[in-house]
Amino acid sequence: MKHFMQPQTAIMRKAHSTDPLSTPSPSSAKPRPYRKAKLAKENAPPSDPNSMAYDSKQSPAMAAKLKSQLPPRPPSSNPLKRKLIMETVPENSVPGASDSGVQVFLFIKPRLENVPARYQDEYSKFRIWTYSSLDLYKHELLRVLYPVFIHCFMDLVNTSSIASKHHCLPDQSSALLQLKQEFEEGLPSDPLVYPKMKSWKANTDCCSWDGVTCNTKTGQVVGLNLSSSWLSGTLSPNSSLFGLHHLQKLNLSKNDFSFSTIPSGFSQLVRLSHLDLSYSNFAGQIPSEISWLTNLISLDLSNFDVSLKGKDLEAISQNMTNMRELHLDHVNISSTVPQSLVNLSSLTSLSLSDCSLQGEFPKNVFLLPKIQAIVLSPNELLTGFLPEFYSGSSLSLLDLYSTKFSGKLPNSIGNLESLKYLDLHSTNFSGELPNSIGNIKSLNFLNLDYNHFSGAIPPSIGNLSQLTSLSLSFNNFTGQLPSTLGNLAKLTFISIESLQLQGKIPSFLNNLTQLEELYLSYNNFDGEFPTSLTNLTKLREIYISKTKLKGPIPSEISRLSQLYTLDLSSNSFSRVIPSLLFTMPSLYKLHLDRNQLTAPLKFQNTSSSALWVLSLSGNIMGTMELKLFFKLKRLLYLDLSGNFSSSLSVLNMRGNKIQGNLPDTFIKGSNLKTLDFSRNQIHGKIPRSLELQILILRANGFYGPIWGHDHTGFGFSKLRVIDLSYNNFSGKIPSEYFKTWNAMLMVHGRDKSQPEYMEDPSAYYKDSITVMNKGVEMEFVKILTIFTSIDLSNNGFHGEIPDSVGTLKDLIVLNLSSNNFIGRIPSSLGNLIELESLDLSRNKLLGEIPQHLTSLTFLAYLNLSHNQLTGPIPQVADNLGHLKIPLLRGTWDCVVLHFQRNAKIMRHQLLNRARNHHLERGSIGKW
């Protein structure tokens, strides 16, 4: 069972059944300027599974993993773009009971299922005529006309039902059943779609099968709608589909054709007027023969992995002179747009999104007499200019996002009285915004972000009473915002970032009671956060970062029960963070970093907290208890960097499922001596520190080499304990690597009978760590100042063990097991005169065991198993039987030796020494 997705694109087309108010999926964590710019694309509702509607710009990443875990986002505030394209080609439909105020319609509705479309149309016209033209006399006329009409209409229904019964021809049924056998049943990502071919069964009328439409007179199959039908497999050039020569409408969108090429056999279906192959996992070159289908009025070949030659695009525009809908989203065209497009006088909808188009777009396409929707975003090499628009244009959607269109907006843009959606984000328009823009009274969506507009924002923009989304950010406007913006009572989204605005936050915002998303960042606002904004109870997202706001963060923000994101970072807010912010049931993201907030933090009733992302970096002044944050059970991302005192000496975050990189701010400029982030999910680089003595990063996701390109090591001159085991580090360890670890280079000569412990300056805290020592995981409740340990086990290091490790004369524990080290055991290990535990097992070491190991008089644990060692065992055991091990509990009178799986070591040597020194017989094993 293959898995295939329901695709989306930048333009929505008419749907057989579409709910424009459906709930969108969570938005991605991409950089916010792009996120806002694509509001209609990212927040557009998912397409109905049985429709042709879709939307390409899903919101992608924080990272893919975080995105999959994010909670459901509130419903979209702007499904406009979908609705507009659906309206470009109206479709007759049977009126529903909800459309009628007369109960008699409820009675006849079930009888409409088999009624020919012409009768349904006549009834619909009659009903409109009755309710509009004769509204004044409705009660009298309905009493007389309705019984007469219903009687006549029901006779027509009964007569037409009998007359319309037919059976499809045997060859048509056979071709469809053969087509069914050509595909497997895939597994859809959308649970609402279903395999339409399941109803296709032999010895039944194929005209009654799901997705099949027949000619009522001839029985020929004229329509086939298999959109989202779980089809999986290759559409072959010899498919029985191409034998259905009477097909007029064919929809194979949103299936999985296994990245096969589009067959040239479609050219045999010369009667086709509608062809939709969008988002069905086709790949390769679109055949030139597609341009032979001269009767096409609707063509959708949108796919991510297909390409179309520029000359074929020109042939399409030249041959298909009656074309109404042309959609080629994500098709790699990589050529200029042919001038012949201007000859498509019937064109209503043109979508060439993300086609790598080049050159200048033909200006007269905007002036086609029936054009309603033009989508050209994004095509970053496509240039062009807007024409002078004539009055009466039917253009309702214009999307030029991320193109190189330039020049000034013509004053005639005010003639586009039908325009509802205008997206010019990330283009090169300049000059003043024409005052005539206020004439576009039907405008619902306006995005002018990231352009070069200058001058004052015209007050006439306040005339756009239907506007629900307004974006003016990152331009060169001057002056203050016009107060007329407060007239836009239907606004749900407003972005006025980076406009160099000064003074207080505009008071007209208080009038925007429908507002859901507010972006005011990168301005020079001062004063305090206006509590009046908390009266906008529908707010879901607030971004007011990088301004000059100060004072306390008002606790009244907690009244915003639908608030999803609050970003007040990089301001001058002070005092304590209101504890109610941490318990809001809808707040998922809270960014308060880079302010001047103070501790202590207090959380209460955190069971109601919805926080997933919390950023307080570079911020908190005073004492902060880390354990408070672990009360936030849903927290996925926590940033506390830059909050730690320079006197902090111990930071233990062991086993907390922390993700992401280990920030340098934990270490740089601090006196941190002990850092334990073991058993988390951290990756990235290891920060350097001249003061750090204990570094425990065991069991994380680190990978790659652990040293810099200059091979100078970490720069940890005081390091005494390092545990990097159970990660994915790799690479060779150069011979000069350990030379900077000064704290282990010489024996300090302390009296081991009088142990000293690491502790903080106030003597209130004695740190503890867990290390692998002598083959056993041990917890040191108090850390001896003379204890030294290196554990690089269970990684992917390779190459030879460097001789320089033998310079660490103060080393007590060395564990390099379970790596890919090769070559001989360095004889320099004999210089580690303080060594008590040596584990080199599970590598690929060769040769003999060095005789120099006999000088390791403190050695109590030696594991060389699972290597390829040969030769005699040195007299290492002869000197170990009577030694005392002061760093372990009690005194040992034996040692543990492991030599398993080293086939050529003399077995009798080991057995004899085991008898003489009472070695553990279990450790000898079999080989």
Q: Give the position of tokens 């893919």.
A: 64
* Contact between residue 116 and residue 160 where contact means Cβ atoms under 8 Å apart: yes
Instruction: Please write the tens of the pLDDT for every residue from 70-79.
Output: 443 333 344 5
* Contact between residue 425 and residue 449 where contact means Cβ atoms under 8 Å apart: yes
CA–CA separation, 440 and 217 (whole Å): 48
CA–CA separation, 764 and 405 (whole Å): 67
CA–CA separation, 363 and 387 (whole Å): 6
Residue/partner pairs of 62-67 with CB below 8 Å, 24 or more apart: 62/28, 62/29, 62/637, 63/29, 66/29, 66/636, 66/637, 67/26, 67/28, 67/29
CA–CA separation, 636 and 624 (whole Å): 19
Residue 876 pLDDT: 52
Instruction: Please write the tens of the pLDDT for every residue from 722-740.
Output: 999 999 999 998 877 788 7
Residue 683 pLDDT: 85
- State the pairing for strand pair 650-652/674-676: parallel
Instruction: Please write the tens of the pLDDT for every residue from 280-331.
Output: 999 999 999 999 999 999 999 999 999 999 999 999 999 999 999 999 999 9
Residue 570 pLDDT: 95
* Contact between residue 44 and residue 20 where contact means Cβ atoms under 8 Å apart: no
Residue 107 pLDDT: 29
* Contact between residue 834 and residue 747 where contact means Cβ atoms under 8 Å apart: yes
CA–CA separation, 121 and 129 (whole Å): 12
- State the pairing for strand pair 613-615/650-652: unpaired
Instruction: Please write the tens of the pLDDT for every residue from 794-838.
Output: 999 999 999 999 999 999 999 999 999 999 999 999 999 999 999
The ranges of the chain with pLDDT < 50 are 1-78, 86, 89-142, 144, 146, 148, 150-164, 711-713, 750-766, 877, 879-895, 903-904, 906-927
| C-alpha dist (Å) from residue 530 to 557, 563, 573, 792 | 10, 16, 13, 55
| C-alpha dist (Å) from residue 214 to 161, 199, 228, 888 | 15, 16, 20, 89
Residue 155, H or E segment = helix 138-163
Q: What is the largest CA-CA distance in the chain?
A: 121
The full DSSP string for 607-649 is GG---SEEE-TTT-BS---GGGGGG-TT--EEE-TT-S-TT--
* Contact between residue 355 and residue 327 where contact means Cβ atoms under 8 Å apart: no
- In the chain the domains, ranked by start, together with CATH numbers, are 526-643 (3.80.10.10), 651-861 (3.80.10.10)
* Contact between residue 874 and residue 855 where contact means Cβ atoms under 8 Å apart: no
Residue 495 pLDDT: 98
b/e map of 852-869 (b: 16 or more CB within 10 Å)?
bbbbbebbbbbbbbbbeb
In one-letter notation, the amino acid at residue 57 is K
CA–CA separation, 217 and 166 (whole Å): 8
Q: Within a 10 A sphere around the Cβ of 226, how many other Cβ atoms? A: 24
